[in-house]
């Protein structure tokens, strides 16, 4: 395991421990959380979101002086970019799942350099796992017992079409609940199996662990703190990260959301999505009526 291009090993360990500590804090706070509406009844936030946000922002700001740190739970968000190094934080991605107590949430931290995802951390606290990595470094999972495993090499990009999502008999696609409701036709595409899981970070983890092939968010408007950490880990694990029109994922800071579909998955994912998910009549294209 070598240094990442933009973080040394001590810095990686510092942020990984911070993510894991916050994951444990989320577990310990669960039974006593206060819940309120943020933008409306469908957008809850808890006292745990706020507490974790404050802790992560304070510790990153102290350790990485000069870097800009942005959290979903900040009272206001910047209108300018003050540094070429920007940390994006989602203290609890999947707050609804956290409230339900089903474990489908994660603590997510991502580092952008010049608006590119270079390193990420996703702590799945309930499962005792922390995923981390980035391009030029690799993708890894650390278990609560201390064991570390490399993940993702078997999904390296390849020119051999027999090892790509493009040629699979059945493609396992992960979509969020709201995205599935807005795009019900995707379940009518031939040879598609819909996989259901929570946080964006956990969706990427399931792909890296071989349990799914593609994560797609068709409806747009994903926030950059939803994607920065997972995208970096995905790239570290040799997954494809892009959109229906681009071979990469744009982080248009200081704007904080993506205006187009977001795709992360194993080799062939982008071409598969462009063939299957942009047809004007997908049900007809799939042979369904």
* Intra-chain end-to-end CA distance of the chain, in Å: 52
Residues 121 and 43 in one domain: yes
pLDDT of residue 180: 84
Is residue 219 included in any domain, yes or no?
yes
Q: Which residue has the higher pLDDT, 143 or 156?
A: 143
Residues 174 and 277 in one domain: yes
pLDDT tens column, 38-55: 887 788 999 999 999 999
The CATH number of whichever domain residue 208 belongs to comes to 3.40.190.80
The CATH number of whichever domain residue 16 belongs to comes to 3.30.540.10
Pairing mode of beta strands 214-217, 262-265: antiparallel
**pLDDT category of residue 166 using cuts at 50, 70 and 90:** low
Residues 145 and 14 in one domain: yes
pTM for the model stands at 0.91
* 104: containing domain: 9-152
pLDDT tens column, 212-264: 999 999 987 899 999 999 999 999 999 999 999 999 999 999 999 999 999 99
Total domains, the chain:
2
Q: Which of 152, 169, 185 is the last residue of a domain?
A: 152
Is residue 255 included in any domain, yes or no?
yes
**pLDDT > 80? residue 165:** no
Mean pLDDT value across the chain: 89
Is residue 53 included in any domain, yes or no?
yes
Residues 174 and 207 in one domain: yes
Is residue 3 included in any domain, yes or no?
no
pLDDT of residue 58: 98
CA 269, 207, 139, 163 dihedral sign is negative
Is residue 69 included in any domain, yes or no?
yes
Is residue 2 included in any domain, yes or no?
no
Bridge partner residues of 206 (DSSP): none
Residues 143 and 160 in one domain: no
Contact 89, 131 (CB under 8 A): no
pLDDT tens column, 167-188: 557 899 999 888 888 888 888 8
The SS3 of residue 92 is: strand
**Cα dist. 101→72, 93, 104, 124, 221 in Å?**
21, 13, 8, 13, 26
**Cα dist. 57→22, 61, 68, 210 in Å?**
12, 6, 10, 33
Pairing mode of beta strands 85-93, 106-113: antiparallel
Residues 16 and 86 in one domain: yes
Residues 128 and 200 in one domain: no
Give 135-194 as a DSSP string.
TTTEEEEEETTS-EEE--GGG---S-GGGSGGG-SSEEEE--HHHHHH-GGGGGSTTEEE
Is residue 64 included in any domain, yes or no?
yes
Residues 165 and 263 in one domain: yes
Residues 165 and 64 in one domain: no
**pLDDT > 80? residue 288:** no
Tokens (6 digits) for 268:
């062939």
Residues 144 and 161 in one domain: no
Phi first, then psi: give them for residue 216, nearest 5 degrees.
-135, 135
Distance CA 19, CA 115 (A): 22
Q: Which of 137, 152, 167 is the last residue of a domain?
A: 152
Bridge partner residues of 262 (DSSP): 217
Is residue 112 included in any domain, yes or no?
yes
Q: Which of 99, 128, 152 is the last residue of a domain?
A: 152
Residues 166 and 146 in one domain: no
Kindly report the number of other CB atoms within 10 A of residue 118's CB atom: 23
The SS3 of residue 101 is: coil
The SS3 of residue 10 is: helix
- Mean pLDDT calculated for residue range 84-92: 98
């Amino acid at each position: 395991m070598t240094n990442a291009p933009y973080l040394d090993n001590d810095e990686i360990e510092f942020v990984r421990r911070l993510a894991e500590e916050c994951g444990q804090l989320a577990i310990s706070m669960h039974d006593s959380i206060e819940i309120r509406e943020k933008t409306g009844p469908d957008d809850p936030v808890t006292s745990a979101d706020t507490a974790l946000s404050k802790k992560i922002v304070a510790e990153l700001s102290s350790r990485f002086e000069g870097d800009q740190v942005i959290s979903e739970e900040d009272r206001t968000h910047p209108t300018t970019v003050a540094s070429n190094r920007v940390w994006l934080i989602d203290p609890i991605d999947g707050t609804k799942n956290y409230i339900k107590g089903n474990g489908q949430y994660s603590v997510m931290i991502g580092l952008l350099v010049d608006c590119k995802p270079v390193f990420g951390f996703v702590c799945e606290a309930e499962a005792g796992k922390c995923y981390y990595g980035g391009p030029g470094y690799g993708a890894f999972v650390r278990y609560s017992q201390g064991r570390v495993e490399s993940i993702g090499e078997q999904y390296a990009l390849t020119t051999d079409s027999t090892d790509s999502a493009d040629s699979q008999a059945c493609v396992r696609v992960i979509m969020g609940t709201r995205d599935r409701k807005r795009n019900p036709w995707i379940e009518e595409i031939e040879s598609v199996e819909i996989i259901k899981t929570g946080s964006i970070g956990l969706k990427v983890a399931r792909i890296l662990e071989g349990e799914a092939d593609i994560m797609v968010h068709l409806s747009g408007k994903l926030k950059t703190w939803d994607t920065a950490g997972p995208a970096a880990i995905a790239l570290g694990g040799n997954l494809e990260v892009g959109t229906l029109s681009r071979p990469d994922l744009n982080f248009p800071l200081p704007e904080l959301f993506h205006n187009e579909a977001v795709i992360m998955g194993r080799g062939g994912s982008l071409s598969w999505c462009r063939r299957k998910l942009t047809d004007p009549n997908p049900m007809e294209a799939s042979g369904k009526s």
